[in-house]
Amino acid sequence: MEPFRLHLFVCTQQKPEGVTSCAGSSSFAVLGALDGELQKRGLINEVQLTTCGCLGLCDEGPVMVVYPAGVWYRRVQPSDVPEILEAHLDGGRPVERLVWNDAPAMKAMAVEHGEKFRAAMAARDKAGVLPDRLDQMLRAYWPSRCLLTALELDLFTAVGDGATAAQVATKIKANARSTAMLLNALVALGLLSKSGDDYKNTADSTRFFVQSSKDNHRNSLLHLANIWHSWSTLTDAVRSGARVPGELPADHLEWTRDFITAMQRNAKERAPLVVKTLATANLRRILDLGGGSGAYAIAFAQANPNIQCEILDVPEVVPLTTEYVRQAGVSAQVKVRTGDMLQSDLGSGYDLVMMNAVCHIFSEEQNQGLFRRAYQALAPRGRLAVVDFILNPEKSGPQQAALFALNMLVNTDAGATYSESEYTDWMKAAGFAEISRINLPGPASLIVGLKKWSLAH
Ligand SMILES: C[S@@+](CC[C@H](N)C(=O)[O-])C[C@H]1O[C@@H](n2cnc3c(N)ncnc32)[C@H](O)[C@@H]1O
Ligand code: FES
């Protein structure tokens, strides 16, 4: 029993230069056309569209298979898509001119192609050709840059329900020829579909990149476009050991808003897990250092009406924080104040001090100082909670934590990512006990330390 009315597999395998493949014969255009047609017919939830690897019939690509009928199609073109869908949705006859059901010939081709492929790979290896995975890593910024530029130009919103390149260019106030090039590249990347001169958003781009969508991520993703510029200085930063002092972005307020929007996206998802892990029953007063959007303080306030939170952040962020708190309807429980956590008076008597996605901004010495000051600010039995990317003991992974260290190198004066033992040592040195690490779903972990009651305090 199939869980879907139809299940369509489209081969999108890419192969090394000189070896035929479905990706090389435009299977992504077929995929885009299928996606567009399913959206148009409102069948996204009834028909499952799945990309797959090589089916062995590469010389006859693009290849697709339709289940439950188990029909194999070859040399499919985007213009064939409506006919194929209609035939299978109506339970009618498959599109005969595209069907391939000669099993012995198919098997012979698959075997022959497999042998040719292995021979080609062996020849490349012998000739010392750069392996594809290295080549792809080196060019990985091409797709990334296309998407970031499309987001900067708000191109997906301009494509809307469908538009030509000229119409999109007019809307985004850009050159028509270069807009067409970008649109075509986005089709090739599977982020748009194209039929004749018309471009359409895919289901994902409609949902995540178009302004009117409730799940639109564009504003938070613009932060990645902003930090692209600092990442371009990585070579100089590695040479000199410090970030390249650049001018402030042309519109620093906009930069800060994109940054806090991006932080809010991550924090909003993680905050309820942290609230659940730390439990709120014994909490009355919380200090959130560098609270950003206030997502954590808001989650604690919403979980327990007896909790009072204070958020400390820099002057340009505080108005944004205040607005998030107001929108969440917890202004009576969450107070926001301006200050520099490295220098300002932190206050005292808190049951919990939080440092979420904050330690990576600072150097080892600054974090040691912050942990000591957090300890002073806590009431006996109070806890310090740190959420961050935690490196393995060799500092070579997980990948995101190791790459994030470089993100801090190019974007901050002294930041980095740190290992569990570094956090534990700093907490111990500050006086904390019962230090534990709790892995959260996703790339970040939580480290908690307790301020023990003793006569000395
Ligand atoms: C990466 S964001 C994390 C925001 C929030 N904690 C979260 O997890 O979403 C770091 C925050 O620390 C704030 N910050 C950086 N340096 C600070 C300082 N010296 N004093 C107070 N806040 C600071 C930034 O403005 C920003 O809001
Ligand atoms: S690459 Fe598609 S069948 Fe081989």
- Does ligand 2 lie within 6 Å of residue 10's CB atom? no
Neighbouring C-alpha atoms within 13 Å toward the C-beta of 131: 5
Residues facing residue 155 across a β-bridge: none
The tokens for 348 are 């005292």
- Does ligand 1 lie within 6 Å of residue 312's CB atom? yes
Tell me what pLDDT residue 423 has: 98
Tell me what pLDDT residue 1 has: 58
The tokens for 390 are 């935690």
Nearest-CA residue for atom 20 of ligand 1: 340
The tokens for 434 are 């019962």
Residue 107 has pLDDT above 60, yes or no: yes
Tell me what pLDDT residue 252 has: 86
Kindly report the three-state secondary structure assignment for every residue of the chain.
CCCCCEEEEEECCCCCCCCCCCHHHCHHHHHHHHHHHHHHCCCCCCEEEEEECCCCCHHHCCCEEEECCCEEECCCCHHHHHHHHHHHHCCCCCCHHHECCCHHHHHHHHHHHHHHHHHHHHHHHHHCCCCHHHHHHHCCHHHHHHHHHHHHCCHHHHHCCCECHHHHHHHHCCCHHHHHHHHHHHHHCCCEEEECCEEEECHHHHHHHCCCCCCCCHHHHHHHHHHHHHHCCHHHHHHHCCCCCCCCCCCHHHHHHHHHHHHHHHHHHHHHHHHHHHCCCCCCEEEEECCCCCHHHHHHHHHCCCCEEEEEECCCCHHHHHHHHHHHCCCCCEEEEECCCCCCCCCCCEEEEEEECCHHHCCHHHHHHHHHHHHHHEEEEEEEEEEEEEECCCCCCCHHHHHHHHHHHHHCCCCCCEEHHHHHHHHHHHCCEEEEEEECCCCEEEEEEECCCCCCC
Tell me what pLDDT residue 142 has: 97
Over residues 321-340, the mean pLDDT reads 98
Whole-structure pTM value: 0.84
210 CB neighbour count, 10 Å cutoff: 20
Residue 313 has pLDDT above 80, yes or no: yes
CA distance 127 to 121: 10
Over residues 7-24, the mean pLDDT reads 90
Return the residue matching tokens 């070896």: 19
Tell me what pLDDT residue 248 has: 62
Neighbouring C-alpha atoms within 13 Å toward the C-beta of 95: 21
Q: pLDDT-derived band of residue 451, with 50, 70 and 90 as boundaries?
A: very high
Tell me what pLDDT residue 247 has: 60
Q: pLDDT-derived band of residue 456, with 50, 70 and 90 as boundaries?
A: low
Q: What is the pLDDT of residues 398-415, one digit of tens each?
A: 999 999 999 999 999 999
Over residues 368-388, the mean pLDDT reads 98
Give the residue, out of 11, 52, 74, 107, with the most ligand 2 atoms within 8 A of its beta carbon, to mutate for a pocket test. 11
Tell me what pLDDT residue 38 has: 94
Over residues 386-400, the mean pLDDT reads 96
Residue 2 has pLDDT above 80, yes or no: no
Tell me what pLDDT residue 195 has: 87
Residue 229 has pLDDT above 70, yes or no: yes
Over residues 171-183, the mean pLDDT reads 98
Q: What is the pLDDT of residues 230-253, one digit of tens each?
A: 999 999 999 999 999 876 666 788
Tell me what pLDDT residue 454 has: 65
Residue 17 has pLDDT above 80, yes or no: no
Over residues 271-295, the mean pLDDT reads 96
- Does ligand 2 lie within 6 Å of residue 106's CB atom? no
In order of 82, 88, 157, 197, the CA distances from 194 in angstroms are 14, 23, 16, 7
Over residues 334-342, the mean pLDDT reads 98
Q: pLDDT-derived band of residue 192, with 50, 70 and 90 as boundaries?
A: very high
The residue type found at 74 is R
Tell me what pLDDT residue 392 has: 96
Over residues 97-118, the mean pLDDT reads 94
- Does ligand 1 lie within 6 Å of residue 313's CB atom? yes
Ligand 1, residue 266: give the atom nearest the CA.
9
Select from 351, 264, 367, 343 the least CA-distant residue to 309: 351
Residue 457 has pLDDT above 60, yes or no: no
In order of 267, 324, 426, 440, the CA distances from 419 in angstroms are 21, 32, 11, 16
Ligand 2, residue 60: give the atom nearest the CA.
3
Ligand at shortest distance from the CA of 356: 1
Q: What percent of the chain has pLDDT over 90?
A: 86
| Whole-number average pLDDT of the chain | 94
Residue 351 has pLDDT above 90, yes or no: yes
